Amino acid sequence: MSTILIRAYTAVMLALLTFPIFLVIPMSFSATRYLQFPPEEYSLRWYQFLWESAAWQEAALRSLGISAAATLIALPIGTLAALGVSRSSGATGRIVTMLSLGPQIVPAVIVALGALLVSAGLGLYGNPLALVLVHACLGIPFVLLVVTPVLREGSEQYMRAARSLGAGFWRAVFTVVLPQIMPALFASAVFVFFISFDELVIALFLMGGTETLPMRIWSDLRNELTPAVAAVSTILILVTLAAIIPAEIYRNKKRRAP
């Protein structure tokens, strides 16, 4: 009976959490110029609008580039940090992990203000590079948290075995450790990418008049509130599911593999 109650409770909570998200999908097919649920008429008008809108496309491409660059920076740095933390004993590893969570614990507005002051001092205000670096800093803790437990599960023993057989440190890392932690790296990359892609507050502080996709969505919500926002949200939902579900399947298969 307790198992049934737990499953029912879980199902209800998932429904409450996901219902507002999936509510935007039918709204994206509205034929009117305003958000409405349920739509009076259905149309692909707003998807065609996004396809033809240079402003939306430029914002999306800019966000893709920033997110990809932030992921490429955060992944190796976070992985190297995880290697160090997994090899440390005592309180050192815990302290490093706690300190790395600073950007996630501190309110985003404070992080954005600090990033604004630093980027302005370096002459990077309005430069996408500033946002890339800040997003990479936000992503590193996620890589550290995901990869460190995997390294502690057994990759360290494999690395020691490789070193005892004559392999150098970096050869052992690339030939032994990386294949073992590849599912964790893939999951980390997906998380970091979408954290960067969805981030708004810091982008508002750093990008000036150059829009990312979240900034474009925010501008539309403030000024027009058209179903174009629902159409973009629907596309993002589908893309997120298409990325996360295969990543989770791949990770579970690797975990069950002998």
Reported as a single tens digit per residue, the pLDDT across 211-224 is 888 888 888 877 77
Confidence class of residue 161 from pLDDT cuts 50, 70 and 90? low
**pTM attached to this predicted model:** 0.80
Asked if residue 43 is part of any domain, the answer here is: no
Residue 171 Cα distances to 72, 85, 148, 168, 175, angstroms: 21, 19, 19, 5, 6
pLDDT at 90 over 70: no
- Specify the pLDDT at position 69: 94
Asked if residue 27 is part of any domain, the answer here is: no
For the chain, how many structural domains are there in total? 1
- Bridge partners of 30, per DSSP, are 42
Backbone angles phi, psi at 39, to 5 degrees: -65, 145
- Specify the pLDDT at position 89: 66
Which spans in the chain are helix H?
Answer: 2-22, 24-27, 45-52, 54-87, 91-100, 102-105, 108-121, 128-150, 156-164, 169-172, 178-198, 201-206, 213-223, 228-256
Asked if residue 122 is part of any domain, the answer here is: yes
- Specify the pLDDT at position 66: 92
CB of 86 closer than 8 Å to CB of 151: yes
* Domain of 69, in residue numbers: 54-256
CB of 129 closer than 8 Å to CB of 123: no
The pair of three-digit structure tokens given for residue 108, joined into one six-digit string = 């985003």
Confidence class of residue 95 from pLDDT cuts 50, 70 and 90? confident
- Specify the pLDDT at position 93: 64
Give me the CATH number covering residue 99: 1.10.3720.10
Residue-wise pLDDT tens digits, 193-252: 988 988 888 888 888 778 888 888 888 877 777 788 888 888 888 888 877 777 667 666
- Specify the pLDDT at position 32: 75
Asked if residue 21 is part of any domain, the answer here is: no
Query: Which of 30-34, 169-173, 197-201, 220-224 is least confident?
Result: 169-173
CA-CA distance, 39 to 33, in Å (whole number)? 11
Provide, rounded to the nearest whole percent, the portion of the chain with pLDDT above 70. 83
